[in-house]
Amino acid sequence: MAGKTRAPEKKTRRADKPRSRDPAKPAKPATPTLSFSRVNGILLGSAAASISLGYLLLARGSMTLAPILLVLGYCVLLPIGIIKK
């Protein structure tokens, strides 16, 4: 058994290097994108309208409808507009 030698190991390509199709162009890093749809835009727009109207009514002295619109805009419509897919 002393005369046996080990076969040379194959070199493997490192997994952390991205492989580009064209060697002249470097690989572009992936950029995160926001995936807002039309429904998200409608919800966010209605949240902005509700908040704006709530502050307008609050400045005019409304103590019942203004807080309801502000809570609706900030606590309901805005989070749903952001989270909904």
In a domain, 3, yes or no: no
> Where does residue 47 rank: exposed (0-12), middle (13-18), buried (19+ CB within 10 A)?
buried
Domain assignment of residue 43, yes or no: yes
Could you give the number of structural domains in the chain? 1
pLDDT at position 49, please? 98
Residue 57 is part of which domain span?
38-83
Assigned token pair, 39? 């429904």
**27 confidence band (pLDDT: 50, 70, 90):** confident
Count of other CB atoms within 10 angstroms of residue 31: 5
For residue 23, tell me if it sits in a domain: no
- pLDDT of 72 > 60? The answer is yes
Residue 32 vs residue 22, higher pLDDT: 32
pLDDT at 38 over 90: yes
Confidence of residue 1 (pLDDT cuts 50, 70, 90): low
Q: Which of 39, 17, 38 is nearest to 29 (CA)?
A: 17
Pick from 44, 33, 42: which is nearest to 82 by CA?
Answer: 44
Q: Average pLDDT of 58-75? A: 97
Q: Is residue 32 part of a domain?
A: no
